[in-house]
Structure formats: structure tokens, C-alpha cells
Amino acid sequence: MNKFIIILCLCLISLFGAAIESTALETVSTIKSLGLRISSVEPIEIQLVRARAANTLLGIYHHLNRAGTFRRPMLGGGYEPPVIPGEHWDVVRAGTNFILIPIINCSIVNALNDIRTAFEGAIRIECLNASVIARIALGDCFLAPDRKNYRNSSKYFSDQAVPEQELNSARLGVLSGLFFKPSEHGHDKLIETGDFVYLFGHPNYKNIGVGPYAGEYVYMVGYAADNLKMYVGFGGFFKSGPKTAKQIQWNLAVMYVEERLKRTACLDVVYEIDMAFEEIRAIKSVHRRFDIDQVMEIQPKKASEEH
């Protein structure tokens, strides 16, 4: 094989690889490609922050839903531990849950790259773990490298005088709480783009079901053309894109009735789904406000503002 043919082959391989990478990038939805809008009632600088947050959330959930599947229940009860392949994630216990967070002293971008490069089915989590990972992705988006990595460093926890026995809970608290005000501060406030929301499933689901449909941890990522709020979350239901609260709650109703059908085959399915949906719709969602004030505080100031 002469030199010209070798060079030609290398060029074709390079072009083919670039085409694959470009195609992969094009499959990641954005608020623009989805035709979503950010609320127009806020100042433009706030809208830009919300738009950036929404695109970050759409991006990380794209990869979580592409490569992820729900953790499997174990015969003895409970679920298998969550898994993200690579060397950058720890499993930390939080009450009865197991949460994945980047290993201490790890660069956050390296941890997130484990997700972006994971093969299909290699990630095993559920919507709670996905919501924490999404917050970490927001931190990677808005915090300067020295700040975001410092917050996940042994020096940070040493500076905060965190006792060894409280280290894991402190790590989880720092990373999972990024840019979100406690729910009591968001009481009765409208859900806006970037906000973190929990939509309850059927109140009796946990008594009969072993799946992940007691509720959904989701993020609001913008308004559709009909002015309906759109939410993104983890699981096959969200692979086709964001959904409205009504669609999510209807899916939760269907999952509840499907669990009932495993025990009682002679159900009027249409009636049962309608009734379950009405019960779910009556439950008020819980949400944390995306803390725009905190985000704006860390934005670099314009030269004109410094004088």
C-alpha cells in the first residue's frame, strides 16, 4: 500500500469519526431545537441563565437516558447498588438510599465524562440519583473549575472541619444542593425554568409495586408553544424528550395500574387508570427553586460594572 492510499485512508477515518461525533452531538436536544421558550417576565440576564441551565439539564439527561437503565430489585429486597462505569464515582448511603457522587478530589468534568462516554445500558440508577447528577452538572456549568473542584476536595472538608464519620453526608450535601433553595423558601412560588420538581405517583403504589414509579424527580426546562411547562427526567419515558406534568402523571397512573394487574387480572383498566390519574393530579408537587441569585453572584462582572 503506497503512501497516498495510507494518507487517504487516514483522512477518511478521520472524516468518518468526525461525522459520528457530529451526529452524536446533533442528537442532544436544546431548548432551541425543541422550540421551547424561557419565561419573558424576567430580565434578559436571568432568562439567559435559565436557558443555559435548561440546555445543561437536557444534555446530561440525554446521556443518562441513552446509557442508563433502572437499578434491578434484589431477591432479598431492595435494589442493586447504583453504577456508573469508570473510576470517578463513589456510592454513598443517604438514609435508606444509595447515591452516586464523584470521588473526593476528582475533577467534576472527568466524572461527568464517564456518563457522556458510557455505553448503552452501562449506567444503572433511578430518578433520584439522576437528579443529583443533574445538579452536579449544573455546578460544572456555572462554577469556575477551582470552585467546583474545591467543593469536592479533601481540603474543602478539612477547611470546614467536617468529622470523618460525617464526611460522606457532607459530600452529598454540598454537591446535591448546588443552586437550589430549600423547598420552604419556594413555597407557593411558581415553578420556573431550571426548577427541580418532585411529582408524586399514586399514594398506594409503594404498597403494591417494586418498581421506580412512586413518583418522578424532574426539572422544568421551558415552555412549549401552547405555554405548557415541559419537564425532563430519567427513564425510557423521557428518551423521546421532555414531557408535560399531565403526561408524567398519566404515565405514573398507568404504572400503578400495571402493578395492580400483576395481582388482580380482572380490572377495568381504562376506569382504573382514570381514577388513579385523578388521585395523582390532586397531590401538590414539591419543588426547589433554581437559585438565580446564587448563580448571578458567581457570574463574571463586565468591565463596565467594575468601575
Is 29:62 a contact under the CB 8 Å cutoff? yes
Q: Helix 44-67 and helix 108-116: axis angle, to 10°?
A: 50
Bridge partners (DSSP) of residue 287 are: 197
Per-residue confidence (pLDDT) for residue 299, from 0 to 100: 65
Q: What is the pLDDT along the chain (307 residues), one digit of tens a residue?
A: 454 443 333 333 343 343 333 334 448 899 999 999 998 788 999 999 999 999 999 999 999 999 999 987 776 667 788 999 999 999 998 877 889 999 999 999 999 999 999 999 999 999 999 999 999 999 999 998 888 899 999 999 999 999 999 999 999 999 999 999 876 655 567 899 999 999 999 999 988 877 789 999 999 999 998 999 999 999 999 999 999 999 999 999 999 999 999 888 888 999 999 999 999 999 999 999 999 988 988 765 544 444 4
**Which cell goes with 29?**
436536544
**Interval 104-136: pLDDT, tens:** 999 999 999 999 999 999 999 999 999 999 999
Nearest CA to 51 out of 199, 192, 252 is that of 192
Strands (E), the chain: 68-70, 89-94, 97-102, 123-125, 196-200, 215-223, 229-232, 286-288
The pTM assigned to this predicted structure is 0.86
Q: How far apart are CA 136 and CA 142, in angstroms?
A: 10
Nearest CA to 167 out of 178, 179, 157 is that of 157
Q: How far apart are CA 246 and CA 252, in angstroms?
A: 10
**Which cell goes with 143?**
462554577
Bridge partners (DSSP) of residue 215 are: 200
**Interval 59-73: pLDDT, tens:** 999 999 999 999 877
Pairing of strands 97-102, 89-94: antiparallel
Per-residue confidence (pLDDT) for residue 301, from 0 to 100: 53
**Which cell goes with 220?**
422544568
Place of cell 404504572: 255
- What number of CA atoms fall less than 13 Å from residue 78's CA on the CB side? 7
Q: Which three-class secondary structure state does DSSP give residue 119?
A: coil
Per-residue confidence (pLDDT) for residue 300, from 0 to 100: 58
Nearest CA to 92 out of 45, 137, 133, 48 is that of 133
Phi-psi region of 137 (alpha: psi -120 to 50; beta: other; left: phi over 0): alpha
Per-residue confidence (pLDDT) for residue 10, from 0 to 100: 34
Q: How far apart are CA 206 and CA 210, in angstroms?
A: 7
Q: Which amino acid is at 178?
A: L
Mean confidence (pLDDT) of the chain: 85
